[in-house]
């Protein structure tokens, strides 16, 4: 265990690797210091953290109270309606200004932002999930340069789009009157969900830097396993370059080739050491150095890390219905794990230690797969690095959940850039098992009565469905075929609806008969699908956690604080019903909290036992959900502060057997 948890936590993403230190390499200058924040149109200025978000800066400056305390959520909705501006200064010397290219690189801007250098607009951002890169050399001067990032409220930006669409789009769990989340390429859970609050954040939420380079640089590297036997592994390296590659050479694994914009190199490793998921073998990782040379001078260098493994999704007709299971290195494996959501409403607060601790908890519980749910984010590099080292496979949703989305050319182009960037960033990780188009959109469209609820005409319905197919059956799979063809794609999850018994014989399943359907826990025993992607039951967190967000008078189910904290539409009533059914009516709030955790543990135990005992028919069980984004009642087995509920230990016992 010590060997696993002591890996460096500052590694760059696999496929980007580590740049060697050498005078002619691209020079990188982090821009994280001396930022200020102000509300547009006001004079008050505050110190700001970058990476960061407005809510945390306001908290740190004493402008607002803790957003998680009592019902402060409701008092702080004004923040999302304002525009905010961040400012700092870039100091450039003559040496830096002599470089051919000086690029300003934002790894993440949340979400609508106008960026200015010395008062000149250099870029406009409209997607939280994309990297934004712009050559700003012509805007810079020796010495002090002003960098300004102004953020625009999503509500104001998208109000006209909402009005011009002509119909309302389903919008996840938004409960406000004006719902703009379908138009906003931003984490859907920020607009509210049935386990979290509404905090529509903005800010420079990932690192920002200057990157100065000359004629060319290494843009990205793709490593794939093209053939695998016990004796040897065949690998393919695809190296993409930016800039003018005339007269340049690449050295890949000691072999020199004439550089082009896109370069392919084949490599065979004899007696390869394979990468295996947790519980099936070791997680061996290789690395290779790639150099870009011009007349013998080193221009750029990357060390790429990768694992050797093959992974297949087997989804085909069989004697029962339609299979859905994974083969790793040619072996069918039963997947045991959970659904993962972002660890905080305010993403830059999540530390490397929190990532490490949570993922080690998953590994120690015997999990070999986590699903990164589509209403959150494409996670930070450290998340995937740790999953590589711990043997936790990743079912990766694209960031679409519980809504329908527009299909105009600007939106589609934005999604294309987002999907391409994140595939290129993540594709080399051996933990990556599956690309999934969205969460619950197709099953919702076909089974949740949206056409009637929103009063769509036949033409409206046809347009919305055509937009859906354009994204998830055309655009995204075409990008995957080009950028990551070795990883399987499924357009949506689930592929089967739990409303009919026959559906449990086919493909992926979200089973919510228990909870949303009001069924008893015994229903888990005979509702077992081929791959159980979601199921679960709520509980409250420990009293120690509840005390951190509430006063003593709040600690009743009837208090305004506790009613607001419960975000599920059936919430407390369903928990009380099952406590009474399987135990007894609780005598007070503290006993209710304790028994809520016990019935959650019982529910997951009964569900997972049913899935494991039907191995073969069922080949995967991912309960909802592993973790929390704030302190409150939810389906999590580990609460916001890292406290493990009884359900965690029930899962651990079953998964580790």
Could you read off the pLDDT of 242-299 as tens digits, one per residue?
999 999 999 998 899 999 999 999 999 999 999 999 999 999 999 999 999 999 999 9
For residues 57-70, one letter each, b for 16 or more C-beta atoms within 10 angstroms of the residue's C-beta and e for the rest, the string is bbbeeeebeebbeb
- Report the pLDDT value the prediction gives residue 22, as an integer from 0 to 100: 45
CB atoms within 10 A of CB 9: 15
Would you say residue 8 has pLDDT above 80? Answer: no
Q: Which two tokens stand for residue 320?
A: 């029962």
Q: What is the pLDDT of residues 160-210, one digit of tens each?
A: 888 889 899 999 999 999 999 999 999 999 999 999 999 999 999 999 999
Under the banding of pLDDT at 50, 70 and 90, the label for residue 48 is very high
What is residue 26's predicted lDDT score, i.e. its pLDDT? 81
> What mean pLDDT comes out for the span 603-621?
98
pLDDT for 546 beyond 80: yes
Cα–Cα nearest to 614, from 514, 505, 503, 498: 505
Residue 163 has a CB neighbour count (10 Å cut-off) of 9
**Which pLDDT band, with edges at 50, 70 and 90, does 23 fall under?**
low
Encode pLDDT of 368-407 as tens digits.
999 999 999 999 999 999 999 999 999 999 999 999 999 9
Q: Which H or E run contains 649?
A: helix 646-656
pLDDT of 9 = 24
Residue 129 has pLDDT above 80, yes or no: yes
pLDDT at 17 (0 to 100): 46
Q: How far is CA 120 from CA 124, 140, 146, 609, in A?
A: 12, 10, 10, 62
154 vs 253: CA distance, rounded Å: 47
Mean pLDDT value across residues 59-63: 98
Assess whether pLDDT exceeds 60 at residue 364: yes
| Mean pLDDT, range 468-496, rounded to an integer | 98
- Give all strands of the β-sheet with 208-213 in edge-to-edge order: 27-30, 208-213, 101-106, 132-135
- Residues 318-363 pLDDT 10s: 999 999 999 999 999 999 999 999 999 999 999 999 999 999 999 9
Domains of the chain, start order:
2-23+215-306 (2.60.40.10), 27-210 (2.60.120.260), 311-656 (3.20.20.80)
Whether 440 is a known active-site residue: answer yes
Query: Does the pLDDT of residue 141 top 50, yes or no?
Result: yes
- pLDDT of 495 > 50? The answer is yes
pLDDT confidence of residue 24: 63
Annotated catalytic residue within 315, 379, 440, 483: 440
Q: What are the C-alpha distances in Å from 439 to residues 373, 398, 404, 608?
A: 7, 8, 11, 22
* pLDDT(21) > 90: no
What's the mean pLDDT in 427-440? Answer: 98
- The encoded tokens of residue 185 equal 């390429």
CB-based contact 575:596 (threshold 8 Å): yes
What percentage of the chain has pLDDT greater than the value 90?
94
Q: Using 50, 70 and 90 to split pLDDT, how confident is the model at 25? A: confident
The sign of the torsion formed by the CA atoms of 642, 646, 650, 656 equals: positive
Please check whether residue 538 is in contact with residue 579, taking contact to mean a CB–CB distance below 8 angstroms.
no
Full-model pTM: 0.95
Position 583 pLDDT exceeds 80: yes
Supply the mean pLDDT for the chain: 95
Report the alpha-carbon angle 110-424-131, nearest 5.
25
Q: Is it the case that residue 153 has pLDDT exceeding 50?
A: yes
Among residues 207, 150, 199, 201, which one has the least CA distance to residue 36? 150
């Amino acid at each position: 265990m010590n060997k696993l948890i002591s890996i460096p936590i500052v590694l760059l993403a696999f496929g980007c690797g580590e740049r060697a230190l050498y005078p002619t390499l691209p020079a990188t200058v982090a821009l994280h210091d001396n930022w200020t924040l102000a509300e547009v149109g006001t004079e008050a200025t505050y110190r700001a953290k970058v990476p960061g978000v407005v809510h945390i800066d306001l908290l740190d400056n004493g402008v607002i109270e803790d957003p998680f305390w009592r019902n402060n959520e409701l008092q702080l909705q004004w923040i999302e309606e304002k525009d905010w501006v961040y400012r700092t200064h870039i100091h450039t010397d003559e040496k830096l200004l002599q470089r051919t290219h000086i690029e300003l690189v934002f790894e993440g801007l949340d979400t609508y932002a106008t960026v200015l250098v010395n008062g000149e607009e250099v870029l406009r951002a409209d997607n939280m999930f994309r990297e934004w890169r712009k050559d700003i050399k012509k805007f810079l001067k020796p010495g002090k340069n002003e960098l300004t990032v102004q953020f625009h409220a999503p509500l104001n930006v998208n109000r006209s789009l909402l009005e011009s669409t002509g119909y309302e789009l389903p919008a996840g769990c938004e409960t406000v009157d004006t719902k703009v989340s379908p138009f906003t390429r931003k984490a859907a859970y920020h607009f509210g969900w049935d386990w979290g609050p509404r905090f529509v954040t903005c800010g420079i939420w990932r690192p920002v830097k200057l990157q100065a380079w000359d004629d060319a640089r290494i843009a990205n590297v793709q490593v794939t396993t093209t053939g695998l036997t016990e004796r040897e592994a065949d690998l393919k390296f695809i190296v993409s370059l930016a800039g003018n590659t005339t007269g340049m050479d690449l050295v890949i694994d000691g072999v020199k080739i004439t550089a082009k914009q896109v370069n392919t190199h084949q490599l065979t490793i004899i007696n390869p050491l394979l990468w295996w998921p947790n519980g099936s073998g070791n997680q061996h990782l290789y690395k290779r150095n790639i150099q870009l040379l011009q007349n013998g001078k080193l221009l750029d260098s990357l060390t790429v890390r990768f694992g050797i493994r093959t992974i297949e999704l087997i989804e085909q007709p069989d004697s029962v219905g339609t299979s859905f299971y994974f083969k790793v290195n040619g072996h069918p494996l039963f997947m045991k794990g959970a659904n993962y959501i972002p660890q905080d409403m305010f993403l830059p607060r999540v530390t490397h230690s929190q990532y490490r601790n949570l993922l080690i908890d998953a590994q120690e519980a015997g999990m070999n797969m986590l699903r990164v749910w589509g209403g959150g984010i494409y996670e930070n590099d450290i998340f995937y690095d740790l999953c590589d080292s711990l043997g936790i496979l990743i079912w990766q949703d694209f960031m679409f959940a519980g809504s329908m989305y527009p299909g105009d050319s600007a939106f589609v182009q934005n999604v294309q850039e987002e999907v391409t960037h994140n595939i290129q960033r993540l594709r080399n990780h051996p933990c990556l098992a599956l690309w999934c188009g969205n969460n619950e959109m197709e099953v919702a469209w076909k089974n949740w009565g949206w056409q009637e609820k929103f009063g769509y005409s036949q033409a409206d319905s046809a347009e919305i469905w055509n937009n859906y197919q354009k994204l998830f059956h055309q655009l995204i799979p075409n990008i995957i075929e080009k950028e990551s063809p070795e990883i399987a794609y499924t357009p949506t999850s689930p592929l089967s609806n739990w409303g009919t018994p026959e559906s449990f014989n086919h493909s992926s399943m979200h089973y919510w008969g228990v909870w949303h359907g009001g069924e008893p826990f015994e229903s888990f025993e005979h509702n077992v699908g081929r791959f159980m992607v979601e199921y679960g039951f709520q509980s409250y967190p420990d009293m120690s956690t509840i005390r951190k967000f509430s006063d003593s008078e709040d600690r009743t189910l009837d208090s305004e604080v506790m009613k607001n904290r419960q975000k599920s539409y059936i919430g407390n009533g369903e928990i009380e019903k099952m406590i009474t059914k399987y135990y007894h009516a609780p005598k007070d709030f503290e006993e209710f909290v304790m028994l809520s955790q016990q019935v959650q543990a019982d529910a997951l135990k009964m569900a997972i036992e049913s899935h494991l005992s039907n191995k073969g028919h069922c080949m995967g069980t991912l309960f909802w959900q592993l973790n929390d984004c704030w302190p409150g009642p939810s389906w999590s087995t580990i609460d916001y502060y890292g406290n493990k509920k009884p359900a965690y230990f029930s899962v651990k016992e079953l998964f580790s057997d």
